[in-house]
Amino acid sequence: MDPFRICLAMGPLAVYFFLMGGLNITRRPFVVAGTRDAAALGLALSGMILVGPVELFFPTAAASLFGPYVWVFLIVLYMLVLVLVLLMLRPRLVVYNISPDQLRPILADLAPRLDGEARWAGDNLALPSLGIQLHLDTQASMRNVSLVSSGPNQNYSGWRKLEHALGEALEEFEVTRNPRAISLVTAGVLTAATLVLTVARDPHAVAQSLLDMLRI
């Protein structure tokens, strides 16, 4: 693969590694909606999508008509597909940098204040008044917990209220730093350093690669 395509494929991934490492290395949990979490992953993979499937099925006829501007249409198409996928996802909250044993008591204390009819069944929580049914899904390797919707009948405004309340409840909560986050930061540093060296070694090759990709 030529230098520009390497940079395009790996650049967004380097940023994603830095972002995930930064979230997990802090001493405070961080709550994010599942759609934003998935959107970040979709953007991180965007470079690989462009140099992979998009180029594999590149519309040569459209390129001869629109020239390099065809890439604008392809990028917009990818973003529209990503938005469609995000809109089809069920509600979910991701809490970074916290273990399930730490989150469970906080959620157990918060649930009755949000809904007097709240009830637990194992790792499942129902908040009938808010229209929420969820279960806890754990990523023990990175010390993250997901609150995943159970069933199709969910109230999105209820999920937003839960996200806001849980974020406030975790504001003063401190945890130890996650040592596994170092691997993500290191991966980001190594990837970024590799890309910088690739460009610095032969910037003219990178520029020519860009022109070739744009069909200029």
Per-residue pLDDT at 1: 63
The predicted model scores a pTM of 0.87
More confident residue, 162 or 64: 162
- The candidate with the shortest Cα–Cα distance to 49, out of 92, 5, 16, is 5
Give the integer Cα–Cα distance in Å for 111 and 122: 15
Q: What would the two tokens of residue 141 be? A: 């390797």
pLDDT at 85 over 70: yes
- pLDDT tens per residue across span 43-61: 999 999 998 888 888 888 8
Q: What percent of the chain has pLDDT over 70?
A: 98
Per-residue pLDDT at 68: 82
- pLDDT tens per residue across span 135-181: 998 876 778 899 999 888 889 999 999 999 999 999 888 888 888 88
More confident residue, 188 or 153: 188
